[in-house]
Structure 1
Amino acid sequence: MTTATLYERLGGERGIAALVEDIVETHMQNPRIQARFLPYREDPAHLEEVKGHLRDFLSSGSGGPQEYRGRSMPEAHRGMNINEAEYMAAVDDILDVLDRHGIDPQTRLEVLGIAYSLKGEIMYV
């Protein structure tokens, strides 16, 4: 018996791409954090670059074949001064999107654990 990887449980390349689209759109609609994401609408090329990094990050971190070549979490978030409320709003958005995509509760908990493990690398850096 083989156990599916997190990458496979998230739907592989296509599933992760769909999740990223919805996560970014949900962040743009969330009044608590939308100010950080709406400027990307003004620069579609940069928005696509950010989405590409997020797809690669999620793929690589979940056992998929894509290699993440973006900046480290502290480097990517340095100077943004992300606070606890903003961080939790982003995590809540991610969990909501996973739920809407039919991702099972155990997988959502695993993603939540990963999100919490990155908290110190993203907040107040």
Structure 2
Amino acid sequence: MSFFPCKRSLRLSLLCALLSLTGCASQQQSVLYEQLGGEPGLAALVDNLLQKMADDEEIARHFQDTDIALFRKGLIDKLCVVSDGPCEYTGDTMKNIHKGFNISQADFDSLVQHLIHAMQEEGVPIAGRNALLKRLAPMYQEVVYQ
């Protein structure tokens, strides 16, 4: 006796398995977004980071003429997209945004440290911290002044 008594049951089972895998794939894509706390977690993370940036004179000087509310929204949206969240980033490219800022490697490294500390303070698990940093790392070339 066969495990599947008829071909129809086999097709139905295969369809269910395929749908189950599709559900897992879409769930897996949002794991980082969930580790970051979703929209409220990203907002808290960005607010924490902005405070650290404001307290760092070397970093803050780059943002003297910046509309911080607009910057905050853009950063939340960018991190949401980078973490596979349900957001849309409509801002400019990282290269265009940072053009003329003359951001040094030291500035970049300081900002990364502030981001790490903000994530720790917001309770982002280490796997989430590492995953976000890995996804942000390729932007280095677009941010740091060459």
Query: Displaced runs of 4+ in structure 1, greater than 3 A?
Result: 1-4
Matches within 5 A, 1:1-125: 3=28, 5-37=31-63, 39=64, 46-124=67-145
AA aligned opposite 1:7:
Y
What's the offset of the Cα at 1:36?
Answer: 1.9
Measured in 1, the distance between the counterparts of 2:49 and 2:102 equals 21
Measured in 1, the distance between the counterparts of 2:96 and 2:58 equals 23
AA aligned opposite 2:108:
Y
Aligned-pair Cα RMSD in Å: 1.7
What's the offset of the Cα at 1:32?
Answer: 3.1
SS of residue paired to 1:33: helix
How high is the TM-score relative to the length of structure 1?
0.88
Deviation by residue 1:72-108 (Cα, 9 ceiling, x = unmatched): 0001001111110000000100000000111111111
Deviation by residue 1:19-41 (Cα, 9 ceiling, x = unmatched): 1111111111123312223x26x
What's the offset of the Cα at 1:115?
Answer: 2.6
How many equivalent pairs are there? 120
5+ unaligned residues in a row in structure 2: which ranges? 1-23
SS of residue paired to 2:58: coil
What's the offset of the Cα at 1:10?
Answer: 0.3
Greater CA radius of gyration, 1 or 2? 2
AA aligned opposite 1:5:
V
SS of residue paired to 1:63: coil
Identical residues among aligned pairs (%): 29
AA aligned opposite 2:31:
T
